[in-house]
Amino acid sequence: HVPVDTSTVCPAHLDNAIVVGALNKDNSIAYFSNYGESVDVAAPGVNIYSSYLNGEYKEMSGTSMATPFISACCAMFKLAYPSYSPKEIETLIKNYCIDLGKSGRDDYYGNGYINMYNAIPDCTVKYITNGGNTISDVKIKNSDEVKLPEPTKSFTVTLNANGGKVSTSSYRRECELEGWYNNSALGGTRFNPGGSYTIISDETMYAKWDNPTLGAVENPTRTDATFLGWYSAQSGGTKYTSLTSITANTTLYAHWSVKKNGTITTSKAIDNRQLTISWSSSGYRYVPSTGAAVLCTGTGTSYSGEYIPTQGTWTKDTGLTSGGAVFEISNLSSIRSYIKSLNNGTLT
């Protein structure tokens, strides 16, 4: 076949026709392909394996082998854009061509070799990490696969010793990515982090996390108090244990039981004896300053010994010298009032 100018043959010279040139396997124009101003695009047309007579298949060459490629592309565009006119479909065909031959349109390749992959709509995959590190949106072709990322998320636990001391005041707790979900309610199908999935439309993926627990943290030290635990507030709040879930950056405050130390001494001797009451973290004690006898309830009643608190009351310490009645007082204010009553209302 000797190439001819397409403007001289029918139907290639018609305005509504899409005129197709034939390409070799190296994308150069075939020796037999026609040329001219009406050539629109080019497609493979040499040694194309196709159906033949009597149910056979064979390789054939010609623009008749190239044209079905473009016919199929037109059908795909019409399926995607059913309201488009033939002219609009032709425009799409030309817009998705890869330029061949001379730069721009030319009389042999037309607008070039159509690449339908470029015509496939892009899909955007958005990632909402719900507190994890930011993941950029991804654009892929419809029906392509995307590998889901594996973001990280952590919380910082800060310890406020509240008058005490800790050697480590900050801990980092890592969250575990449970999975990705394509709805903000985090229900339905779970998509594995690191897995590959086919995307057929714009998609927004939401990360679901398993929160960490507090775990092991240092207990603070304080010389004048006993540590009670870590709490969510400086006063009151919720007590945290190693199993308490951490849901945000958190500051924990040490709570203390402050040890009580001091001495009350009567300003006037009772029955010629000075009475001293001392207290410490172990409780209150009556300690006579001179001699062993201590007047507790009134004239004529005396006993020896030292008294310590047990279950909120005062009982005699059996480890010391025994004798006399047991004197029970439940708190320091009662002790102070009692001493005042013994000492004519005065107390130092």
Residues 279-332: tens digit of each pLDDT: 444 433 444 333 333 333 322 323 333 343 333 334 444 433 323 333 333 344
DSSP output for 189-203: --B-TT-EEEE-S-E
Average pLDDT over residues 79-108: 93
- Would the pTM count as exceeding 0.75? no
> Rounded to an integer, what distance in angstroms lies between the CA atom of residue 250 and that of residue 90?
62
Q: Which residues contact 261 (CB under 8 A, 6 or more apart)?
A: 279, 280, 281
What pLDDT, on a 0 to 100 scale, did the predictor assign at position 259?
58
* 247 phi and psi angles, rounded to 5 deg: -115, 0
Element containing residue 108 per DSSP (H, E): none
Q: Answer yes or no: are the C-beta atoms of 98 and 111 closer than 8 Å.
A: no
pLDDT at 244 over 70: yes
Helix (H, G, I), strand (E, B) or coil at 343: coil
Q: What angle do CA 133, 139, 145 make, to 5 degrees?
A: 95
Q: Which of 29-38, 131-140, 331-340 has the lowest mean pLDDT?
A: 331-340
Q: Which of 47-51, 242-246, 305-309 has the lowest mean pLDDT?
A: 305-309
What pLDDT, on a 0 to 100 scale, did the predictor assign at position 165?
96
Q: Which of 244, 246, 289, 242 is nearest to 270 (CA)?
A: 289
Exposed, middle or buried: residue 259 (CB in 10 Å: 0-12, 13-18, 19+)? Answer: middle
What pLDDT, on a 0 to 100 scale, did the predictor assign at position 319?
37
Q: Which of 124-128, 214-218, 229-233, 317-321 has the lowest mean pLDDT?
A: 317-321
Helix (H, G, I), strand (E, B) or coil at 61: coil
What pLDDT, on a 0 to 100 scale, did the predictor assign at position 288?
39
> Rounded to an integer, what distance in angstroms lies between the CA atom of residue 142 and that of residue 122?
6
Q: Answer yes or no: are the C-beta atoms of 100 and 112 closer than 8 Å.
A: yes
287 or 18, which is more confident:
18
Q: Which of 232, 189, 229, 223 is nearest to 208 (CA)?
A: 189
Mean pLDDT of the chain: 79
Q: Answer yes or no: are the C-beta atoms of 250 and 238 closer than 8 Å.
A: no
Q: Answer yes or no: are the C-beta atoms of 310 and 326 closer than 8 Å.
A: no
Average pLDDT over residues 165-179: 97
pLDDT at 171 over 80: yes
